[in-house]
Structure 1
Amino acid sequence: MADLRERWKRDRLTAAVYDLGVQSYPVAWAGGRALWGYEINRLWKSVGELAGTPDDSVVLDLPCGGGTSFRALSRGRRLRYVAADLSETMLDRARAQAAGRSLGQVRFVRTDAGSLPFADASFDLVTSFNGLHVFADPAGAVAEFARVLRPGGTLRGTAVVTGERRRGDLLVRALRLTGTFGPAGSADDLESWLSPHFDDVEIETAGSVAGFSARRITP
């Protein structure tokens, strides 16, 4: 899936249009319902849970996109927060968001989810909102998330899944052809990626989107 990675590395227009749509509530609400049968408030609720992350936690947000999750952060929080993405365009937009919100605790890293430049057990929390379906190797990305999480740490996110709605499946196929989506997978596939590395796995589908959370298995 080299072409997929290169697309997200270099395609500034796709990244900018996607981020504008997600950051605009009316667009995200209408697009979520029309394209995926999904209420965008579900995403914002999950993102909002970041506000309850204990101080001094180490958090990885990948893909951070244009800083979608920053709305749940507040100035002065003692979080060590790493915002990572493959797209330099997304990182530029996220940097602007962080500066506008005075979030000095955010560090930015450009990386591929399949090969993270972090040591084992580096993070207390990994979030991956709207990410797995655009990764070239979602199972490999989940394994990397598990590697960098400390035992007992949490993975939380959302992903487009197949097998829930015909319209959603057709759209996934079309986006694969454009080089925008990766192989994606069903909710069962998502569980199979998580279960070797995590317990307390919870997956809830709404339309063609699955919200998930899981706890890193403690040896």
Structure 2
Amino acid sequence: MNWKTSALLSTLYDHAVQNRALSSLGARVLWNYDIDHLRSTIATQDPHALTLDIPCGGGIAIHGTRHVAADLSQIMLRRARRRTATLLQADLYALPFPTSTFDACLTYNGLHCLDDPATALRELARVLRPGGALTGTTLVRGTNRDPLITLFQHLDIFGNPGTTDDLRTWLTTAGLTAIDLTRIGAVTGFTARK
């Protein structure tokens, strides 16, 4: 299964995420995660900051007029179009922006789907302006949900999620500082600065 081409997977995922009751139940049952953490993180975004949101999925984090929503999947971009017109199909490993373009970068619930999250984080750090913030969430190993993560890997839905310690190392290696990690269940929320 491929996030870029699987219409069924993308549509089902986005429908669940957009539905408040389904997303709360799914996050709690699957990952022992309180999705209100994600909602409160999204609510604190600066609507005036030039922001890159990748993968944007169906657009739940779109907030403000200076928000660039990007995703590898055209299916997800079509779903995000209902929230913004500033959409771009882009590969997280090779962003089509000059160095130091954005005030903020967001990457919610996408790193665990990648084969090389460390490279993706370096690329996000590259397009951040000095002083800019990177904010996101990702599923991590090292919890009692590892068998489910392994199953999703075998189904080719997930890539190579690391542990919370791996995430800290990847952020540090990307040249980011002021790293703050918050693990809730199998999900770690993070912020860091360039």
TM-score (norm 2): 0.96
Equivalence map 1:34-45=2 (5 Å): 34-45=29-40
Equivalence map 1:184-195=2 (5 Å): 184-195=161-172
Q: How many Å separate the matches in 2 of 1:156 and 1:129?
A: 8
- In structure 2, the partner of 1:117 is 96
Q: Which runs of 4+ in 1 moved over 3 A?
A: none
1:213 partner letter: T
| Secondary structure class of the residue paired with 2:161 | coil
Q: How many Å separate the matches in 2 of 1:17 and 1:154?
A: 30
**1:88 and 2:74 correspond:** yes
2:192 partner letter: A
Q: How many Å separate the matches in 2 of 1:96 and 1:27?
A: 20
Equivalence map 1:1-219=2 (5 Å): 7-50=2-45, 53=46, 55=48, 57-70=49-62, 73=63, 77=64, 79-98=65-84, 106-165=85-144, 168-196=145-173, 197-216=175-194
Q: Tell me the number of residue pairs that the alignment of Structure 1 and Structure 2 aligns.
A: 193
Q: How many Å separate the matches in 1 of 2:97 and 2:7?
A: 26
RMSD: 1.2
| Secondary structure class of the residue paired with 2:55 | coil
In structure 1, list runs of 5 or more residues that go unmatched.
99-105
1:212 partner letter: F
In structure 2, list runs of 5 or more residues that go unmatched.
none
Q: How many Å separate the matches in 2 of 1:198 and 1:127?
A: 14
Shift of 1:137: 1.2
Shift of 1:136: 2.2
Shift of 1:97: 3.0
Q: Which has the higher helix share?
A: 1
2:127 partner letter: V
TM-score (norm 1): 0.85
Check whether the contact 1:159–1:210 (CA below 8 A) recurs between aligned residues: yes
> Relative to structure 1, is the Cα distance of residues 82 and 54 closer, same or farther in structure 2, using a 3 angstrom cutoff?
closer
Q: How many Å separate the matches in 2 of 1:136 and 1:124?
A: 26
Check whether the contact 2:47–2:66 (CA below 8 A) recurs between aligned residues: no
2:162 partner letter: G
